[in-house]
Structure 1
Amino acid sequence: MKIDDYELLLKLNEIGTIRGTAKAILISQPAVTQRLKYIEEYFGQDIFIRTPKQLRLTPSGEMILEHARAVCLREEAIKNKIAESSKEVQGTLSIACSSLVSQRFLPAILGEFTSDFPKVAIDLVTGISEDIKRNHKNYHVCIIRGEKLKESTSIRLFDDPLYIFDTEPFPEGQLKERPLISFSSDDSMHELVDNWLYHHQDEIKPLRTITVDQIETCKQFMKQGIGMAVLPESVSDSMKEEYPHIPLKLENQLVTRDTWVCFQEGARKLPQVDQFIQVLTNRTFL
């Protein structure tokens, strides 16, 4: 059995379908099926029950999955020890990153980092900050928005002021009634916007809320005059010259989204983790 086989079992259990797993690891569905067949023949047991909707672990499969987790953890531990003892920066760097940061800033950061440290293998997951927080112990470094991780070491990277944009002006002393376009984000973002709207209900009243999946879709809808949109400065700085906007303020203070880099105690003993955190903390984002 190879380590890749154990990792495949973990991925099959996580995703729950052969088709979805094949798509996630970028190999064909028949190849995944063939590898699973080999693994089951190796152990002499069925690991999964194939149902129409999802793979279900058999009792033997549960024991084999527990073994697979242990093998993968030991493999990662020895790699980390080797990387820690080596003078050369190498090994795997696992990163979980907020979607917004991964789109706006991470490509340039990783381009710089991999150029300086070509022997470091990057393992990257992107998504909503709330999802990352739930699984933060699975990664060396988490880059999240909103509230910091209390059980981790957290360093603030930047504050991101929020603005409300529209194709129509924001008249002073008059109630503005327009649809509000919202993009999928974590609850803390929606709470900031809802709280600001509550305190400015005499000035701005959303007629209805249109929810889209991505921030870029939200921007394009706003640009077409469909409604207002609350956007962070990090993705809207170039729009300020073209579209009417006002900053979100409460008690004369800007409403911002904090961005943090978070990591577990001791993670910086790994040279690749320490160097990456240095790249992040030395960077000017806004």
Structure 2
Amino acid sequence: MKIEDYELLLKLNEMGTIRSTARAILISQPAVTQRLKYIENYFGVTIFIRTPKRLVLTPSGEIILNHAREVIQNENRLKNKLAQSSDDVQGTLSIACSSLISQRFLPAILGEYTSKYPKVIIDLVTGISEDIKYNHKDYHVSIIRGEKLKETTCMHLFEDPLYIFDTVPFPEKQIKERPLISFKSDDSMHELVDNWLYYNSDIIKPQRAIAVDQIETCKQFMKQGIGMAVLPESVSEKMKNEYPHLPLMIGEKPVTRSTWVCYEEGARQLPQVDAFLTILTNQPFLNSRYDGD
């Protein structure tokens, strides 16, 4: 059995189907099916029952998956010890990062990091912050938006002001009624927008909601005049020179999104983690060095 076989079993259990697992790990469905069959033959038991909706773990499968978790944890501990004992910065660096940060800032940061520490293997997962928070113990470092992670060490990276954009000007003394386009994000983002709309119902009244999956799609819909969009400054800074917009304010206080980097106690003792955090926390976020849009 290879470490990749144990990782495959955990991914199958997480995703629930062979099809979604194949998509997640970028190999074909027949290859996943063949590998699972080999593993089951190796142990001589059925690990998953195939149902029309999802894979169901058998009692024997539960035992094997618990063993798989232990094998992977021990493998990671060994790699970390070897990294600590080496004069070079090496090993694996596992990062979970908010999709917005991964698109806007992370490429340049990782470019700088990998040029300095080419022996480090980067294990990167991106997604919405709520999902990252739920699985944060699986990673060395979590870069999230909204509230910081409890029971971890967190460092504040920056505040990201929110703006509402449109192709149509915002009138001063009448209610603006337009569709509102939103992108897939975690609940804390939607709560900020809903709260602002509630307090500003005398100037903004969305006609209907249009939901899209990606923030870039949301921007392009707005630019085509389909409706209004609330966007963070980190992805819309240059748009302020081209499109009518308002800063989101409640009273005299701007509405912002916090960005945090969080990690478990002791993770910074790993040289590859410490080196990444040093580079990350020295970045000029929302600075012209990172040209977005």
TM range (shorter): over 0.9
Deviations 1:191-236 (A, max 9, x none): 1111111111111111111111111111111111111111010000
Q: Report matched runs for 1:28-67 at 5 Å.
A: 28-67=28-67
Q: What is the total number of aligned residue pairs between the two structures?
A: 286
Paired AA for residue 124 in structure 1: L
**Greater CA deviation, 223-232 or 35-44?**
35-44
Letter in 2 for 1:88: D
Letter in 2 for 1:58: T
Alpha-carbon distance between aligned partners in 1 of 2:162 and 2:232, rounded to the nearest angstrom: 4
Opposite residue 183 of structure 2, the aligned amino acid is F
Moved more, 39-48 or 154-163: 39-48
Structure 1 residue 8 displacement after superposition: 1.3
Question: 1:260 & 1:58 partners in 2: Cα distance?
Answer: 39
Equivalent position of 1:135 in the other structure: 135
* Structure-2 separation of matches of 1:36 and 1:225: 50
- 1:262 aligns to what? 262
Residue 150 of structure 2: aligned partner: 150
Distance between the aligned counterparts of 2:183 and 2:34, measured in 1?
A: 40
Aligned positions of 1:240-251 closer than 5 A = 240-251=240-251
Give the superposition deviation at 1:120.
0.6
Q: How does 1:39-188 map to 2 (within 5 A)?
A: 39-188=39-188
Deviation of 1:28 (Å):
2.3
2:198 maps to which residue? 198
Aligned to 1:22: 22
- The CA RMSD over aligned residues, in Å, is 1.1
SS of equivalent to 2:193: helix
Q: Deviations over 1:55-107 (max 9, x none)?
A: 11111111111111111111111111111222211111110000100111111
Q: Alignment partner of 1:240: what SS?
A: helix
Aligned partners of 1:59, 1:245: CA distance in 2, in Å? Answer: 57
Report how far residue 29 of structure 1 moved: 2.1
Distance 1:227 1:26 in 2: 36
Cα deviation for residue 10 of structure 1 reads 1.1
Q: Could you report, residue by residue, the CA deviation over 1:245-281 in whole angstroms, capped at 9, with x for unpaired residues?
A: 1111122121111111010111000000001111110
Residue type of the partner of 2:237?
Answer: D
Task: Pick which of 198-207 and 32-41 moved more.
Answer: 32-41
The CA distance in 2 between the partners of 1:59 and 1:246, in whole Å, is 57
Distance in 1 of aligned mates of 2:55 and 2:201:
49
Unaligned residue ranges in structure 1 (runs of 5+)? none
Shift, 1:27, TM fit: 2.1
> How far apart in 2 are the matches of 1:51 and 1:196?
45
Q: Please tell me whether residue 13 in structure 1 is matched to residue 6 in structure 2.
A: no
| Stretch of structure 1 that moved more, 178-187 or 19-28 | 19-28
- SS where residue 241 of structure 2 aligns? coil
1:23-51 CA distances to partner (integer Å, 9 max, x unpaired)? 22222222222222221111111111111
Gaps of 5+ in 2: 287-293
Q: Deviations over 1:108-160 (max 9, x none)?
A: 11111111111111111111101111111111000000111121111111111
**In structure 2, C-alpha distance between the alignment counterparts of 1:27 and 1:193, rounded to whole Å:** 39
Rounded Cα–Cα distance in structure 1 between residues aligned with 2:84 and 2:135: 24
Give the TM-score of the pair, scaled to structure 1. 0.97
Partner of 2:221: 221
CA distance in structure 1 between the partners assigned to 2:202 and 2:33 by the alignment: 60
Q: For residues 108 and 226 of structure 1, what CA distance do their matches in structure 2 show?
A: 32
- Which segment drifts farther, 240-249 or 28-37? 28-37
